[in-house]
Amino acid sequence: GVQPATGYRPSDATSRHRHSQAAWLDLEQRLTPRLDLSAAARHEQYSDFGDTSTFKLAGRFAATRTLALRASTSTGFRAPHLAQSWFANTSNTVVSGNLVSARQLAVSDPVAHTLGAVPLRPEESVNHSAGLVFTHDREQRRPDSNRRNVAGNIRCAPEPLFAPLRRHDDFLDRL
C-alpha cells in the first residue's frame, strides 16, 4: 500500500543566507563591600532584519552576611531562524481512498500570504527578575521571581490544510 512520506518539491528548495555583526560592552563594579552593580549593552546589525540594541542592568546588595538581595532588568531580541522564514515541505498520504497532500508553506510563499500569513518580525522581550540569596553553613538557597514579556512571538499556523486529490499533479501545480 501507499505509505505517507514527507518530501520536497523542486519549488520547496531555496538558498537563503543572513549576515550579522555585533558589538557589546559589559561592565561590573563593586561600589561598596556590600553593593555590586553591572550594566551591559549589545548592538546587532542583521542583513534581513535591520539594527537592534539591547541592554541589561543588575545589582546585588548584601544586607547581612547570610542574606543578599539581587535584581535585574533587560531587553532581548531574537531574529527568526532562516528555516522559520524559508522552510517548506510536502507530505502525501491516502485518506478514505483519496490521495491527500499537505504542504508546510514558507511564510514568504504567495499561497501562504493568500491564507493569511504575514512576514515574520523579530521577537523582542523585556525581562525583570528579583531574588534573595540565603547562606547558611556554606549552603545557599536562592529563591527568584522572573517576569518576561515577549512581543512578536513566532509560532506555526494552528491547523494544517489538506485537500483531497484526484490527480496529484493538478493540485501541486495550483499551489
25: phi then psi, degrees, rounded to nearest 5: -140, 135
Q: What is the DSSP letter of 172?
A: H
DSSP code at position 6: E
Do 55 and 40 touch, CB atoms closer than 8 A? Answer: yes
pLDDT of 18-65, one tens digit each?
999 999 999 999 999 999 999 999 999 999 888 999 999 999 999 999
| CA–CA dist 125, 131 (Å, integer) | 20
Amino acid at 142: R
pLDDT tens digits for 70-123? Answer: 999 999 998 888 888 888 887 777 788 887 777 788 888 888 888 888 888 888
Could you tell me whether strands 123-136 and 67-78 are parallel, antiparallel, or unpaired per DSSP bridges?
A: antiparallel
Model pTM? 0.69
Predicted confidence (pLDDT) per residue in 144-174, tens digit: 999 999 887 776 655 555 444 444 444 445 4
